[in-house]
Amino acid sequence: MPAATATTAGAREHARAQEGTVVYAAPTVPASSQTDVPDGVAPEDVVWSDRLPGGGYAHRVLAPGMRVRLTDVTGDACAQVVLYHADMPWERLNIADTAKIQWQVYPRAGYLLLSDQARVLATIVEDTSGHHDTIYGASTKARNERRYGDGSVHGPSPAGRELLVNGALKNGLERRDVPPAISFFQGVRIDDGRPVWQGSAGAGAQVTLRTELPVVVLVANAAHPLDPRERYTCGALEVLAWRDRVTTPEDPEWTATPEGRRAFENTADHRAGRSTR
């Protein structure tokens, strides 16, 4: 142990001296101090500002009516996202129902992220990427070990599922509670029953979600399991969330499809029953 940190007092001084230096990626705290915000958004309405390196993860509890913007900084990010009802975490993102109920496996603006209770956890309100995946989920430790030699959380090629499990544990959940994720920014299309890798739409692509219920958001930024590149490749991902509002019957997403309308009605009815007003 270095002499400067051989004592408790020395270790404390060394740790405090790191404040303000870039040692590892960390969220902006308070989030309201973030100055790079969308036009029309007041800094005091920003509730989450984070930058995840490749192989990083984040988690946050958000109220209904928050916008969450994900940005692929370099063109190599892969945001693997899982959502839970924050008040009832046994209700969670169900990718199979999300695709089946909407008759669509390719996410885009207006796409609903549905729970297994036929409620809308979040709505995709903006999308400049179009390169996403609802089929193959997050990479696993075993797969990464076969491809890259390591898949552990703190290794050089962390698996997306291991990162999501870490986020789940920090919210009182367990490994068994982590369902298949939706992946943003690295696309897969199905052609004649076979997956076709699309890769990224390029640096700066963004996806914005609007939360419709109180949610726990887990985000892993890890190489997609079908990424054909020989080396583990994953670039930085920016996350920014701010106060907005939930979807209402006046919004086009509410009435875009009969299936979506019923899901929004289920969601609004659920919120009303839990309100004290």
Q: What is the pLDDT of residues 247-270, one digit of tens each?
A: 999 999 999 999 999 999 999 999
- The answer to whether residue 1 is domain-embedded is no
> How far lies 71's CA from each of 43, 186, 196, 205, 221, in Å?
18, 12, 23, 6, 11
pLDDT score recorded for residue 227: 97
Which helix H or strand E contains 261, and what residues bound it?
helix 258-273
pLDDT per position as a tens digit, 8-17: 777 777 666 6
Contact assessment for residue 262 and residue 118, using Cβ atoms and an 8 Å cutoff = yes
Domain extent, residue 176, equals 27-32+46-273
Whether the pLDDT of residue 72 is over 60: the answer is: yes
- First-to-final CA distance of the chain: 58
- The answer to whether residue 12 is domain-embedded is no
Q: Is the dihedral of CA 162, 164, 168, 174 positive or negative?
A: negative
Count the domains in the chain: 1
- The answer to whether residue 150 is domain-embedded is yes
3-state SS assignment for residue 92: strand
How many Å apart are CA 273 and CA 175, to the nearest integer? Answer: 31
- The answer to whether residue 208 is domain-embedded is yes
- 11 token code pair: 């270790």
Whether the pLDDT of residue 2 is over 70: the answer is: no
Percentage of the chain modeled with pLDDT above 70: 93
Q: Is 276 exposed, middle or buried (0-12, 13-18, 19+ CB in 10 A)?
A: exposed
- The answer to whether residue 13 is domain-embedded is no
Coarse DSSP helix, strand, coil percentages of the chain, rounded to the nearest 5 percent: 25, 30, 45
Whether the pLDDT of residue 22 is over 60: the answer is: no
Contact assessment for residue 66 and residue 210, using Cβ atoms and an 8 Å cutoff = yes
- The answer to whether residue 8 is domain-embedded is no
Q: Is the dihedral of CA 186, 189, 194, 198 positive or negative?
A: negative
pLDDT per position as a tens digit, 109-127: 999 999 999 999 999 999 9
pLDDT score recorded for residue 179: 97
- The answer to whether residue 168 is domain-embedded is yes
- 176 token code pair: 């068994």
Determine if residue 203 is left, alpha or beta; phi over 0 gives left, psi from -120 to 50 gives alpha, anything else beta. beta
Confidence of residue 24 (pLDDT cuts 50, 70, 90): very low
- The answer to whether residue 3 is domain-embedded is no
